[in-house]
Structure 1
Amino acid sequence: MFLTYTNNAMFSVYLLGFLFVPAWRQRPFGFGGRPRWMLHRIKRFLRMRASNDQPYEQLVNNPNEEANIAHDQGATTETAAVIPFTIRETMNVSLTFSILWFIANYLYNVALTRTSVASATILSSTSGLWTLLMGALFLPTSADKFTWNKLLAVALSIGGVVLVNAGEVGFSSGDIFALFSAVFYACYLVFFKRFGDEDRMIMAMFFGFVGLFNVVLTLPLFFIFDATGWEKFGWPPSRMTWLYLIVNAVIGTVVSDYVWLWATMLTSPAITTLGLSLTIPLAIVVDVLFKGITVGAMFACGTVLVFGGFVLLNCEIYYGVSVVDAVRRRLRRC
């Protein structure tokens, strides 16, 4: 709990942007109306009939001037401006996201204390499957549409992770936590892609509120867990432990998770999920290079599968190349 709390709380450092970035303070808070992203008929991308040099305040205060889409009546993206999120809208997205984020990360950390790293890693890699399914259901873009080629890519990635960790897997109660962590991981990734928008939302502000909400909302869990005996509270025993916690939070959360979720906005949840699986064989490669650890053929095969799944998914989304469709056409000719 303390590890998860520290990592998530570190996101709040981004709120210092209100002190140093004037554009943050100029953005309206948004009192008075319900947040647009919560409405049933929301349109994720709202266009305005305005020129690019129209003042920000005029864009926000004229929500009824919705612009035509590029293909409607000859309108173009150059003549349309995007309505930015108000601070309140950013906070609303951050609030829901922070809850899903905390649950997924806490469950994974609990899993690591109750099962082997290999088992937790393998079960967490199933998040690619959950992300693929949820993305097909809740995301409207063609990049997130379900295809058999994407399923094959996810299967290759999961199979590769299994081979990389072959021989070290056993079953324990922690495996259940790892599996649920993978499900919640997919939930917050799809949610972020669905309601976040890098063109309308200041990403750093969003993460700052995620950290703030985690600090406030999850603080009572310390007392609940301690009173029930689920986790007995205790301060880190040494300065070195504090140092490890802070370095891990800064590098592993504030920097890496920011870049990773930004990649989700620029690509798709499925791609970033499989991309995250690449850390598993790459970490072992680092151990081989710097620690002299030897690996066998199973690791080599698993690494090839993990990289193959990642490449396969990218080929379909960005180049329209589907291995499954190619095989089908080949079989029909035969």
Structure 2
Amino acid sequence: MATSATRRMLLGLAVMAVVVITFVASGAVIQLIFTSGDYDKPVALTVYSLTLSVLLLACRNYIHMPDGQENPAETSLLTESGTAVPAEKEPTWPKRRLVWALGAMWFASQLTYNISLKYTSVATNSSLSSCSSVFTFIFSIVLLRYPLCRAAPISAVLMCVLGVLITALNRPSPKTDLAVQENILGDCLALGSACCYGLFTCCLKLWVPDERMVAYVFGMFGVVAFALGVPLLALCHVTGLEALALPTWGQFGAMTANAVLGSVASDYLLSVAVILLSPLSAAVGLSLTIPLSLVVDSTILGLHSFKGVYMLGSALVFGAVVLISWDTYNIDLEKEAEVVSPQARGQEEPLVHCGKSS
């Protein structure tokens, strides 16, 4: 029904709005921890933040994934007395090796993103990270068999790329000595994070089709982050890339709050948006971090000033979000229209009989 598709689209857009705000705030907090907080340890911060995702394992039974439609996992059971009772199918558990592969992709995406914040401003980082929509489009064609010649997604990606270029080529001017000194390494790391994220979202859609398993999967990412992060921390300490050091209580409190809200909660909500909309919709939606990060840089942190040309880039990005979301909505309507209900064929819904047969 159209109502179901509309509900999914609106819910997905609302979740994306929360994710965008949380991501920008988290990026600003991380950069402040590196600079004003004097804890320049991006690897340690990443490992600690992602390891806290194990909290989702303890809470997964209390988290319900909204799907905006009737629960497809419910079937009818018929008891010996002839009374029909609903029964829920067991969730589809993803293979363990696929969960570890997803965790490695997510760890790489978050690590490169956090390190890039040492060498780029929040605004520039957001612009480059938004290129994930281009990588997502490419991976969606290869992995998810998305149609190659659809005008809407191609136009949306082109609009997004153009908007990103406008903002990236007209970077805001620094207003204080505390502003990060940008260099090419930060740009490369931000683009690498965008590539990892694009691959991750497509694989998440492909390997975790059951929405009820998202909390479990992201909880397992905490285990993966610990398994990969501890050897990486030791390697960085031995090689001198990042010496191990305990944070102060103030730094620890800021890191913990940012990890719970900016990593655990936002990562879970992002996965909800990916499933409710599509990987490409979520990637283009994250491009809205560009204008928001510029406002944060200029008004809240007071680090940069920007001109009216950014409004053009922001408008293009916003138009891309609306276009790709509307295209996804129409695709969902087409898929629902292709499904012929048993009642329309004059057939009753099959019942599973409980008890002995006569």
Normalised by the length of structure 1, the TM-score is 0.69
1:324 alignment counterpart: none
Aligned to 1:326: none
Match of 1:311 in 2: 322
- Once residues 301 and 226 of structure 2 are traced to their aligned partners in structure 1, the CA distance between those partners, rounded to angstroms, is 38
- Within 5 Å, which residues of 2 pair with 1:54-203? 84-86=91-93, 89=94, 91-140=96-145, 147-165=150-168, 166-168=170-172, 171-199=183-211, 201-203=212-214
Q: Give the Å deviation of 1:122.
A: 2.6
CA distance in 2, matches of 1:264, 1:133: 16
Bigger mean CA deviation after superposition, 287-296 or 311-320? 287-296
Match of 1:239 in 2: 249
List per-residue Cα deviations over 1:266-298 (Å, max 9, x = no partner).
211000011111122134446777789875321
CA shift for structure 1 position 167? 2.9
**How many residues of Structure 1 are paired with residues of Structure 2 in the alignment?**
265
What does 1:219-234 correspond to in 2, within 5 Å?
219-234=230-245
User: What's the RMSD between the two structures over aligned residues?
Assistant: 3.2
Please list, as runs of the form range in 1=range in 2, the aligned pairs for 1:295-310 lying within 5 A after superposition. Answer: 295-310=306-321
Structure 1: 5+ residue runs without aligned partners?
24-46, 56-78, 321-334
Q: Is the 8 A contact 2:127 2:167 kept in 1?
A: no
1:277 counterpart (284, 287, 293): 287
2:264 is aligned to 254
Whichever residue aligns with residue 11 of structure 1, its letter is S
2:51 corresponds to 1:9: yes
1:205-237 residue CA offsets vs partner (Å, 9 max, x unmatched): 22111112211232111111111122222222x
1:225, 1:231 within 8 Å by CA — same for their partners in 2?
A: yes
- Report the AA paired with residue 84 of structure 1: P
Give the Cα separation in 2 of the matches to 1:124 and 1:133: 16
* 1:36-51 paired onto structure 2 within 5 Å: 51=75
In the alignment, the residues of structure 1 paired with residue 233 and residue 220 of structure 2 have an alpha-carbon distance, to the nearest angstrom, of: 21
Change over 3 Å in CA distance of 1:214–1:146 after alignment to 2: farther
Q: Is the 8 A contact 1:122 1:158 kept in 2?
A: no
Aligned to 1:27: none
For each residue in 1:1-49, what CA deviation from the matched residue of structure 2 results, as whole angstroms up to 9, or x when unmatched? 011111111110122248x76x9xxxxxxxxxxxxxxxxxxxxxxx99x
Give the SS at the match of 1:52: strand
Q: CA deviation at 1:178?
A: 1.8
Distance 1:155 1:16, change over 3 A: same
User: 2: CA distance between counterparts of 1:214 and 1:290?
Assistant: 32
| Cα separation, 1, equivalents of 2:161 and 2:311 | 14
CA contact under 8 A between 2:128 and 2:164: conserved in structure 1? no
Aligned partner of 2:345 in structure 1 is none
Equivalent AA in structure 1 for residue 215 of structure 2? A
> How far apart are 1:172 and its partner, in Å?
1.6
| Structure 2 Cα separation of the partners of residues 299 and 192 of structure 1 | 33
**CA displacement at 1:94 relative to structure 2:** 2.3
- Per the TM alignment, residue 83 of structure 1 is displaced from its structure 2 partner at its CA by 5.3
Residues 146 and 92 of structure 1: CA distance in aligned 2, closer, same or farther (over 3 Å): farther
1:41 matched residue in structure 2: none
Q: Secondary structure at the match of 2:76?
A: coil
Change (3 A) 1:54 1:247: farther
| Distance of aligned partners of 1:224 and 1:290 in 2 relative to their CA distance in 1, 3 Å threshold | closer
| Greater RCO, CA 8 A, separation 6+ | 2
How many Å separate the matches in 1 of 2:149 and 2:235?
Answer: 41
**Aligned counterparts of 1:232 and 1:294: Cα–Cα separation in 2:** 35
Distance 1:290 1:107, change over 3 A: closer
Structure 1 counterpart of 2:28:
none
Letter in 2 for 1:111: S
* Structure 2: segments with no counterpart, 5+ residues: 1-42, 65-71, 80-85, 174-181, 332-358
After the TM superposition, which parts of structure 1 deviate over 6 Å for at least 4 consecutive aligned residues?
287-294
